[in-house]
Amino acid sequence: MDKQQQPSFQAKDGMNYAPKGRPNAVVKPGDEFAFAAAALDHGHIYGMAGGLIEAGATLKWVYDPDPAKVQAFVEQYPQAIRADSLEQVLADPEVRLVAAAAVPSERGPLGLKVMDAGKDYFTDKTPFTHLDQLEAARRKVRETGRKYMVYYSERLHVESAVYAGQLVQQGAIGRVLQVTGFGPHRLNAGSRPEWFFQKEKYGGILCDIGSHQIEQFLYYTGCRDAKVLHSKVANYHHPEYPELEDYGDATLVGDNGATQYFRVDWFTPDGLSTWGDGRTFILGTEGYIELRKYVDLARDADGDHVYLVNQDGEQHFAVRGQVGYPFFGELILDCLNRTENAMTQEHAFKAAELCLKAQQQALQITTSY
């Protein structure tokens, strides 16, 4: 079994990011909300499944064509029944939602199958690698009335990011004007699957990990749309992987005038205690917020630090274990009640659209090694 499939939250391995929260069930155990896990290509499936289970969902099935991946998954979640095929999962009327972390280029087509079967779909980011996949999903949502939800984990599964959203909604910094995001990741090249280095399959760095940054911008600013003003990508330091983009950045302006700059890269040094020093800065008319998501450098190995400066002064909140992850419970209730409290479909698709456009129009920087 590939190393990246080990089902544990490893601090130095972002591909296995699967934080554990406090159980906060919104439904009763059993058949009230059953879901299945499929396409176990990315370790994020463990975080997705864990979040749903903590919110009261019942994991009924698991399917992947690779028996080793299924074996690892059932060792973590022994309650899951091994399915012989995807069709077996989709034919079960008790399954309301399918959670999947397929190879990125396969996520869109898989979602169409799930929605055609009358199930809601919950996919790892990035949800698409081409704009035509996005348009196909939009049509299918309209046809079927099913949900195509996305695991934008750098906001949904990070307590400091959740808390920052609460502060913004409470008006702690006034109207949000600008969001700056930094999403560095550790490469761990030796543990990555082949598809990770094939651009047609992973989509490009702005399409992939850049999707987190754009989703956060839309959320914190309240924008419903935005334009990509400039973007660029590069392979600065990995000639042995010619299709890998190890650096990317972009600038956006939202429909309400708010702006964003973000940078993503694969240059986390080995000396860092975690897989990436993720930071977000949110500037408002009445103050600003800084998030130190995964580590407070040289001070606290725990992450989830929120720094707030406004008219009341300077404040620091250490929120790990204090806030939880409300998205998962809200998603379950949305599926049951056909509401949109966890995330609107428009928002999920708009973040995907903008990361695809940023990738499509990115300036390719040429460099000599």
**Confidence check: pLDDT of 343 > 90:** yes
Report the relative pairing of strands 305-310 and 287-292 from DSSP bridges: antiparallel
Q: What is the pLDDT of residue 6?
A: 36
Q: What is the largest CA-CA distance in the chain?
A: 60
Q: How confident is the model at residue 17 (pLDDT cuts 50, 70, 90)?
A: low
pLDDT at site 10: 52
Identify the band that residue 19 occupies on the pLDDT scale cut at 50, 70 and 90: confident
Position 31 pLDDT exceeds 80: no
The residue-averaged pLDDT of 291-299 equals 96
- For residue 8, pLDDT over 70 is answered with no
User: What pLDDT is attached to residue 2?
Assistant: 34
Instruction: Specify the range with the lowest mean pLDDT, choosing from 24-33, 44-53, 202-211.
Output: 24-33
Instruction: State pLDDT tens for residues 138-167.
Output: 999 999 999 999 999 999 999 999 999 999
Q: What's the number of CA atoms in the CB half-sphere (13 Å) around residue 227?
A: 5
CB 177 within 8 A of CB 171: no
Whether 7 has a pLDDT exceeding 50, the answer reads: no
What pLDDT, in 10s, does the model give residues 107-133?
A: 999 999 999 999 999 999 999 999 999
Predicted local confidence at residue 3, as pLDDT: 33
Predicted local distance difference test score (pLDDT) of residue 30: 76
The pLDDT of residue 5 is above 50: no
> Token pair for residue 284?
């408002």
Strand order in the sheet with 34-40: 81-82, 58-63, 34-40, 95-101, 120-124, 148-151
**Residue-level pLDDT at 1:** 30
